[in-house]
Amino acid sequence: MDEGERIQRPHVLFGFDGTADNDAALRWAVDETGRRGLDLVMCHCWHWPYASGHVDRDAEAIRKRAGENLLEQGVRRARELGAPGAVHGRLMRGPAAEALLDASGTAEMIVIGARERPDDRATALEVPARADRPVIVVPDGGGDRRELVVAGVDGTERSEAALGFAFEEAALRDWDLHVVYGCWEPGAVIDSELALFNDRELLEKTRAAELEEAVAPWRERHPAIGMRVSLLLERPCEALRDAVEDAGLLVLGDRGTGSDPLGATSTRMLGHARCPVAIVPGRWAAR
């Protein structure tokens, strides 16, 4: 496939690196296409290891051909895993994060793997920080997990998109949903709310009302979902760490500003959670 070609049909974009560790993420991507009725686009980013001014047409052709062969294997593997729709291969020149973001223009979501290599960790942070659609980061392995979606919310409008995506995933998978609000964030509130942290009872009452207001519309739309809600007077990361211990999926919003566009909680949970983590931008709207 030509590197500039765009896929117009609704699809899941998957970042394929050709390693065995990437297989868990591929399984998740294939599963998403089946549940959502989407095509799968597998994007492999080949890397030119020399300085940008270095020219070696033969070496470049060899590396590109190796990428094409690897991508063909990946497409076959996706079909082996039961991808129900069309599976497309898209070869692009790296770096991976830039290539995936460029390829994501018509995707409904992006699925990538996360391993311990520095390049993988960087991609797993940069893509969800800059994407304008949900990004699911799937760690290799992870063991057996409960059929449970955990959604971390913060009572603001930005977390509504994450909440909507969490309900959507729970409904598609017929999983239970646990909504968690760790509301002890004195450094993240406007000045007029600082006084709440001097009165724990008032803080809890105020935040409980915010949480109920956020959850109520989604509960009405999805009455069949088994759901519980936890309001904890803890910092968000502390509240989420125990909740995701056996979860099958963690859903978070992007809340960052300035030098940390992803937000401290999402960044930390991407490093801590052993289950897939979905980062949902605040401007995204559930279908």
Domains of the chain: which residue ranges? 11-139, 148-280
Q: Which CATH number fits domain 148-280: 3.30.365.10, 3.20.20.70, 3.40.50.12370, 3.40.50.970?
A: 3.40.50.12370
Catalogue the long-range contacts made by 224-227 (C-beta closer than 8 Å, 24 or more residues apart).
224/171, 225/167, 225/170, 225/171, 225/176, 225/177, 226/176, 226/177, 227/170, 227/176, 227/177, 227/178, 227/179
pLDDT of residue 262: 77
Q: What is the pTM of this model?
A: 0.89
> Do 11-139 and 148-280 share a fold?
yes
What are the pLDDT digits (tens) for 176-192?
Answer: 999 999 999 887 788 88
Burial-class residue 68 by CB neighbours within 10 Å (0-12, 13-18, 19+): middle
Q: Is the pLDDT of residue 287 over 60?
A: no
CATH fold of the domain at 11-139: Rossmann fold (3.40.50)
Least confident interval from 47-51, 140-144, 208-212, 245-249: 47-51
Least confident interval from 136-140, 235-239, 260-264: 260-264
Determine the Cα–Cα distance for residues 62 and 44; give it in Å rounded to an integer.
15
Q: Is the peptide bond before 139 cis (omega within 30 degrees of 0)?
A: no
What average pLDDT score do residues 101-110 get? 93
Alpha helix stretches (DSSP H) within 2-143: 23-36, 57-80, 96-103, 118-130
